Amino acid sequence: MAQLLRGSVWIGRCLGIRVGIHPSWLLVFALVVWMLTNSFADLGGEHALALAVVTALAFFGSVVVHEFAHALVARRFGVATLSIRLFLFGGVATIATEPPSPGAEAAIAFAGPLCSAVLAGACGLGLEIVGHLGGEPHLALLLMALAAANAVLAAFNLLPAFPMDGGRILRATVWRLRGDHAAATRLSSLAGMGFALALGLMGVGLAWHTHRWEPLWYLALGGFISIATIQSYQQACCKTAVGGSEAASQRKPAA
Ligand SMILES: [Zn+2]
């Protein structure tokens, strides 16, 4: 994963954690802006584009907040976070060591989706308030899009596919039940590979039936998850073998 994200541009440091952007993020940012501009087309060209840019920036900001939720809970368990980066498939927090216990791993993994769900709820509440006040339609559209995007982010990341958050919760559960970290990593990695394969096949199938290119995004996402699964599995095995502190990662596909 570190090799895939080589070339990231560091934009600052927050709570002692470096925050950066990989150039590939510009591609997904442009894609999201394009999709949102189409969604907001009723507003008219320039207004639609401006609101799309603001909404996309706010969404990727909430992806970074999701990553910080992982990082802050990790810190409580004595696990340092080296960096948080945005890239083609969302956000990634790189932690210095594997979590020390199943409970720690589950708590760290769950923190991100919980944070996204809270953000979705807050945006939904804000939308209600704006509606009651007879407020600004642009703000209502922004809040509606953010509520939906954060809800999807929370739900998607809870899918039990290692190394996504749900896959890490699965690994923590198996680790706790069997007391075998390596076996838990193998099982959750298999689930991750199965999910990646299913996602890729779904993308190809949808593209075939709809004669559109957009579903091929799922194929790319499946490919990325399979690479991430293999690399995370190798890192976990290496750590187990040497008893060292191989870097581990948490990933948040955003679309
Ligand atoms: Zn996450």
Decide if 50 contacts 212 (C-beta within 8 A): no
Query: What mean pLDDT value characterizes the chain?
Result: 85
* Per-residue DSSP letter, 245: -
pLDDT of 252 above 50? no
pLDDT of 75 above 70? yes
- Tell me the two tokens of residue 97: 């060591």
How far is 160 from 41, CA to CA, in rounded Å?
36
What's the pTM? 0.83
Q: Tell me whether residue 233 is in a domain.
A: yes
Q: Tell me whether residue 44 is in a domain.
A: yes
Average the pLDDT over 50-63 and give the result.
Answer: 94
| Contacts of 208-211 spanning 24+ positions with Cβ under 8 A | none
Quote the pLDDT of residue 253: 46
Residue 163: φ, ψ to 5°: -100, 20
Quote the pLDDT of residue 6: 77
Span 168-177, pLDDT tens digits:
999 999 999 9
Average the pLDDT over 19-42 and give the result.
Answer: 90
pLDDT band at residue 240 using 50, 70 and 90 as cut-offs = low
pLDDT of 255 above 50? no
Q: Which domain holds residue 196?
A: 9-253
How far is 91 from 235, CA to CA, in rounded Å?
19
* Separation of CA 169 and ligand 1 centre (Å): 11
Q: Tell me whether residue 1 is in a domain.
A: no
Q: Tell me whether residue 107 is in a domain.
A: yes
- Which range among 13-27, 105-119, 174-188 shows the weakest confidence by mean pLDDT? 174-188
Average the pLDDT over 170-196 and give the result.
Answer: 88
pLDDT band at residue 46 using 50, 70 and 90 as cut-offs = confident
Average the pLDDT over 92-111 and give the result.
Answer: 92
Residues whose CB is under 5 A from ligand 1 (ion)? Answer: 112, 157, 165, 252
* Separation of CA 206 and ligand 1 centre (Å): 27
* Separation of CA 25 and ligand 1 centre (Å): 17
* Separation of CA 251 and ligand 1 centre (Å): 6
Q: At what angle do helices 102-132 and 45-76 cross, to 10 degrees?
A: 150
pLDDT band at residue 55 using 50, 70 and 90 as cut-offs = very high
pLDDT band at residue 3 using 50, 70 and 90 as cut-offs = low
| Bigger pLDDT: 214 vs 24 | 24
pLDDT of 248 above 60? no
* Separation of CA 67 and ligand 1 centre (Å): 6
* Separation of CA 205 and ligand 1 centre (Å): 28
* Separation of CA 37 and ligand 1 centre (Å): 27
Quote the pLDDT of residue 1: 62
What is the DSSP track for 134-196? Answer: T--HHHHHHHHHHHHHHHHHHHHHTSS-TTSHHHHHHHHHHHHHH--HHHHHHHHHHHHHHHH
Q: Tell me whether residue 3 is in a domain.
A: no
pLDDT of 254 above 60? no
Q: Tell me whether residue 4 is in a domain.
A: no
To the nearest whole percent, how much of the chain has pLDDT over 70? 91
In angstroms and rounded to an integer, the radius of gyration of the C-alpha atoms of the chain is 19
- The count of structural domains within the chain is 1
Quote the pLDDT of residue 151: 96
Q: At what angle do helices 45-76 and 137-157 cross, to 10 degrees?
A: 40
How far is 134 from 127, CA to CA, in rounded Å?
10
Active-site residues, by number, are 67
Q: Tell me whether residue 246 is in a domain.
A: yes
Q: Tell me whether residue 2 is in a domain.
A: no
- Which range among 15-19, 22-26, 85-89, 133-137 shows the weakest confidence by mean pLDDT? 133-137
Quote the pLDDT of residue 106: 95
Residue 94: φ, ψ to 5°: -100, 115
